[in-house]
Chain A
Amino acid sequence: GAVVSQHPSRVICKSGTSVKIECRSLDFQATTMFWYRQFPKQSLMLMATSNEGSKATYEQGVEKDKFLINHASLTLSTLTVTSAHPEDSSFYICSAIARALSLTGGYTFGSGTRLTVV
């Protein structure tokens, strides 16, 4: 079935540095990918939607210059957290939609990346 690989699963970085998170669709072409963040004991919050070859669409309140999203191919999207600060520490999750909607309704989620900024 459709598999989305997210890497790294955990990352610790120093305040002020940038961190890149990768999201790959392994066995399907993803026309659209979504990025979420989740704080402890809270629900997932959609950050942005990215379509292959075009600029990402950010949700209200999400800083596009801080959270850089690149969707350069049908199988890879990246989220770069620039100049990370402790308040950016969170669980980041990607999701991808298959070109051909599958039995799962088309959406597949990665396993998430735990970012800790120290």
Chain B
Amino acid sequence: DAKTTQPNSMESNEEEPVHLPCNHSTISGTDYIHWYRQLPSQGPEYVIHGLTSNVNNRMASLAIAEDRKSSTLILHRATLRDAAVYYCIPSRQGGKLIFGQGTELSVKP
């Protein structure tokens, strides 16, 4: 399982962009990079995932480094509802998702 390194916590102001980094230097060539977030006392919620190319969806963008050893989750305009713990998880398609410690994002009004 690839090891990940994420900041323990980050702060953002409402309406501003947020860049959440993740290092996954031991990622396998077939691993997808998944991002999930979790609110207190809830199950994780899917945010985005990608393999090599940058990805966009209605929630966020995922920028993947060319060597795939790191990635950045981009929330274009943070809202109070985006305050959560964000997890970056490399995993092969259909494989186990092993959660690291994640980044706790707080959003200030």
Contact = CB atoms under 8 A, between A and B. Distances in A.
- Residue from B36, B42, B96 with most neighbouring chain A CB atoms (10 Å): B96
21 contacts: A4-B43, A6-B43, A34-B96, A34-B97, A43-B100, A44-B99, A46-B97, A93-B43, A95-B43, A95-B44, A101-B93, A101-B94, A104-B49, A105-B34, A105-B46, A105-B49, A109-B43, A110-B43, A111-B43, A112-B41, A112-B42
- Residue from A34, A44, A91, A112 with most neighbouring chain B CB atoms (10 Å): A44
A45 B42 CA distance: 15
B98 interface: yes
Contacts of A4: 43
A112 B94 contact: no
A46 B34 contact: no
Nearest to A91: B41
Contacts, number: 53
Interface string A27-67: 00000101010000001111001000000000000000000
A7 interface: no
B101 interface: yes
Interface residues of A, number: 25
B15 interface: no
Interface string A1-22: 0001010000000000000000
Given A32-B94, A106-B94, A107-B34, A93 B49 contact: no
